[in-house]
Amino acid sequence: MRILVAGGAGYIGAHMCKCLHEAGHTVVVLDNLATGHRAAVKWGTLVEASVADTAVVLETLRSHRIDTVMHFAASSLVGESMAAPYAYYENNVSATLRLLQAMRASGVQRFVFSSTAAVYGQPRSDVIDENHPRDPINPYGRSKLAVELMLEDAARAYGLCVAALRYFNAAGAEPAAGIGESHQPETHLIPRLLRCAAGEALEVQIFGTDYPTPDGTCIRDYIHVTDLVDAHLRALEYITRQGGFHAFNLGNGEGYSVRQVVKAVEDVIGHTLDIPVGPRRAGDPAILVASSRKAREVLGWMPQYPDIRRIVADAWAWHRAPAY
Ligand SMILES: NC(=O)c1ccc[n+]([C@@H]2O[C@H](COP(=O)([O-])OP(=O)(O)OC[C@H]3O[C@@H](n4cnc5c(N)ncnc54)[C@H](O)[C@@H]3O)[C@@H](O)[C@H]2O)c1
Ligand SMILES: O=c1ccn([C@@H]2O[C@H](COP(=O)(O)OP(=O)(O)O[C@H]3O[C@H](CO)[C@@H](O)[C@H](O)[C@H]3O)[C@@H](O)[C@H]2O)c(=O)[nH]1
C-alpha cells in the first residue's frame, strides 16, 4: 500500500514508519514538527506541513497516489489540554476533520487512528474492554472521543474503513534503528526516570502513594512501542478485508504500579534511584489496565515484549545515547 503517516516524525509514528517499510509498504510522512523530529523520518519522504493545510494534503495524497492514512498527529498532554482546551479541539478535532475531508475528496478510504485509553475516563471495572462506556474526563480524551464519533459516522455515511486503536501506555524504543522517545517537555514516567538516570537535571516524583492499590501508587498497562505498531499493521489488513469502523484496545493486560516501574528501572540501570514522593497529579485514575482480548482474537495480535524489564531496557538503550 501507499501510506501517508501523519505524525510520522513523532515517537510512535516513527516506529510505525519502520514497521510499514519492513512490511513492504511505501511511506510518506506528513508532520509539522510541532513535537516531532526531522531525524526520526528515515523510512519515507517528509512533507513538512500540518494535517489542517488542505492544499498541501490534497497535493500529497494526489502526487504520492496515497491509498491509506495512518493518523498519529495530535497534541497529547492531558495537563496542557485542561489549560488550553481550544488548542486541543483545534489540533485534534478540527485538523482531523480537514484531513478526513481531503481524503474524501481524493477517494482515500482507509484510516487508522491513534485513539487512547483516555476515552474511557474513570474506569468502572478492573480491566477495560472496548464496551466500557466512553466518558473522558479531560479535553484531550474528549477530543479523541469526538474524532472516534466522527469516524463512526464517516464509516456509515461514506464507507470509510476505520481502525480506532486505543493505546494504553506506550513505552520502549527501537534504539538499534536510531529511534526512540524524545519529548520536550517529557511527562511520561519511564522516560522521565531514565533521563534522570542518564544525568539530566529532572525532578522526578512519585505522584501519590494513597491510591487504593497494593502499594498505594497508580497502576498502568505499559505496552512496547514495537508491539503497538505491529497491531496497527494487523488492524490495517483487517479493515481492508472487512470495511466498517472497528475499535481495539492495545495493552498487555497486566498492570504495574509506579513503584514497580521504579524498581524495574533500578534493575535495568543497575543502581537505586532516590525518587521522592509527591502529591497526586490531577486527573490520574488509580488503575488503567486493558483487556486486549479483542485484538488478540480478531487480529491475531500477540505482544512479543510484554516484560516490563525488556520495555525499560530498550528505552534505556535509547536514552543513554539518543539520536535526537
Ligand atoms: N504515547 C502514548 O503513550 C500515547 C497513548 C495514547 C495515545 N497516544 C496517541 O498516539 C499518537 C502519537 O503519540 P506520540 O507519543 O508519538 O506523540 P508525539 O508528540 O511524539 O507525535 C505526534 C507527532 O504529530 C506531529 N503533529 C502534531 N500536530 C500536527 C499537525 N497538526 N499536523 C502535522 N503533524 C502534527 C508532531 O510534530 C509529532 O511528530 C497521538 O495521537 C497520541 O494522542 C499516545
Ligand atoms: O514524573 C512522573 C510521571 C508520571 N507518574 C505517574 O506514572 C503513571 C504513568 O504516567 P504517564 O507516563 O504520564 O502516563 P499516563 O498519564 O498514564 O498517560 C499515558 O497513557 C494514557 C493511557 O493509559 C494515554 O491516554 C496518555 O495519552 C498517555 O500519555 C501515572 O500514574 C503518573 O501519575 C509519576 O508518578 N511521576
| CATH assignment at residue 288 | 3.90.25.10
Mean pLDDT (the chain) is: 97
- The whole-number pLDDT of residue 126 equals 82
Q: What are 4's strand-pairing partners?
A: 28, 69
- The whole-number pLDDT of residue 283 equals 81
- Ligand 1, from 11, 48, 51, 72: best to mutate by most atoms within 8 Å of Cβ? 72
- The whole-number pLDDT of residue 22 equals 98
Statement: residue 304 has pLDDT above 90: yes
Q: How far is the CA of 168 from the centre of ligand 2 (A)?
A: 10
Distance of CA 244 to the CA centre of its chain: 22
- The whole-number pLDDT of residue 67 equals 98
* CATH assignment at residue 38: 3.40.50.720
Statement: residue 37 has pLDDT above 90: yes
- The whole-number pLDDT of residue 266 equals 98
Statement: residue 184 has pLDDT above 90: yes
pLDDT over 70 percentage in the chain: 100
- The whole-number pLDDT of residue 207 equals 97
Question: Is 150 found in the same domain as 214?
Answer: no
| Domain boundary residue, one of 210, 232, 250 | 250
Pairing of strands 45-48, 26-31: parallel
Measuring from each residue's beta carbon to the nearest atom of ligand 2, which residues come in under 6 Å? 76, 116-118, 168-169, 187-189, 192, 204-207, 218, 220, 258, 281, 284, 288
Tell me the three cell numbers of residue 181.
522517545
Question: Is 101 found in the same domain as 83?
Answer: yes
Question: Is 134 found in the same domain as 207?
Answer: no
Q: How far is the CA of 81 from the centre of ligand 2 (A)?
A: 14
Q: Is the CB of 74 under 6 A from ligand 1?
A: yes
Question: Catalytic residue numbers?
Answer: 140
Question: Is 206 found in the same domain as 94?
Answer: no
Q: Is the CB of 255 under 6 A from ligand 1?
A: no
The confidence band for 282, taking pLDDT boundaries of 50, 70 and 90, is confident
- Ligand 1, from 4, 28, 76: best to mutate by most atoms within 8 Å of Cβ? 76
Beta strand segments in 174-276, E: 206-207, 219-220, 222-224, 245-250, 256-257
Supply the ipTM of this predicted assembly: 0.97
- The whole-number pLDDT of residue 200 equals 93
pLDDT tens-digit series, residues 96-143: 999 999 999 999 999 999 999 999 999 998 899 999 999 999 999 999
Is the pTM above the cut of 0.95?
Answer: yes
- The whole-number pLDDT of residue 182 equals 97
Query: Which residue, judged by its Cα, is nearest atom 9 of ligand 2?
Result: 189
Question: Is 299 found in the same domain as 205?
Answer: yes
| Domain boundary residue, one of 204, 230, 250 | 250
* Sign of the Cα pseudo-torsion (27, 32, 34, 40, in order): positive
Range of the domain at 191: 175-220+253-320
Query: Which residue, judged by its Cα, is nearest atom 14 of ligand 2?
Result: 188
- The whole-number pLDDT of residue 209 equals 98
User: Closest ligand 2 atom, CA of 169?
Assistant: 20
